[in-house]
Amino acid sequence: MDENLSFKEQEIKKQHDLLELRNLIAKSLSKGEKTDEELKKEIPSASYEDILAVLKNMLSLKLIKKEGYPVKYSLSEEILKTLEKRKEMSENDKNIIRVSIIIESKSDDKTALREAMEKILSSLKKDETYFVYDSSLADIVVHDNLFSTFISSEVSCPDLFSLIRLIYFYGVTSIDIIKPEKLTIPISDLQNSLQTMVDMVHGYADIIYDLKKKNDVLSKNIK
């Protein structure tokens, strides 16, 4: 793991990687029951220990079931229905970009943090610009005397501009592109996207300038 990442960032990355592994296992099991050894062969990028840990977690959440000898894992009936629903959603989704995102936040007020993140999640689900496949709000943890949590979601966007908007307005802290492998961008979409980024940069620059002026004033008053 990258030593340059902070402890909090490492924990978020670890949880995100485990969620991704859970998705890979679910995808594999959707094709039929498998032993842990068979899953390891299908997902060589994951360690055997991580696969066992995720399987244990999925069993506790009743996402999968196990039976027979040697033990074979299969998806629960409820998850099979969910996958069928996701397939139908995908067929109805005309958006060309699909991403997996993390929205992380922290606060010294646990209740305010929970309410704020629930509001963000609710707003994202209601935003007609996007097609939300699934989303979840992680349990709140404490690190460096602050409460911390994150939203994990899979979202599709109609164009590059809406993707930039998603990152900016919802405060996305991590993003992985699911599709497409290549993207043709109309000049109008590129123009709008670049202008949004320019506005963001100038907005931050104005904030920094205002803060610097206030700091200079305070420094003079102290002297």
Instruction: Give yes or no for a contact between 74 and 65, defined as CB atoms under 8 angstroms apart.
Output: yes
State the pLDDT at residue 92.
Answer: 80
Instruction: Give yes or no for a contact between 66 and 59, defined as CB atoms under 8 angstroms apart.
Output: yes
The pTM (predicted TM-score) of the whole model is 0.61
pLDDT per residue rounded down to tens, the chain (223 residues): 455 555 556 666 677 677 788 888 988 998 899 999 999 999 998 899 999 999 998 898 888 999 988 899 999 888 888 777 777 778 888 899 999 999 999 899 999 999 999 999 999 999 999 999 888 888 888 877 889 999 999 999 999 999 999 998 899 988 989 899 899 999 999 998 888 888 877 766 666 666 676 666 666 666 5
DSSP H helical segments within 43-158, as ranges? Answer: 48-60, 77-92, 110-126
CA of residue 14 relative to chain centroid, distance: 12
Q: Dihedral (C-alpha) 86, 89, 90, 91: value to the nearest 10 degrees?
A: 130
CA distance 190 to 219: 43
Angle between helix 160-170 and helix 187-222 axes, rounded to 10 deg: 20
Q: Taking Cα atoms as reference points, which of 96, 111, 114 lies closest to residue 151?
A: 114
First to last CA, the chain: 46
List Cα–Cα distances, 20 to 153, 184, 217, in angstroms: 11, 27, 49
State the pLDDT at residue 18.
Answer: 78
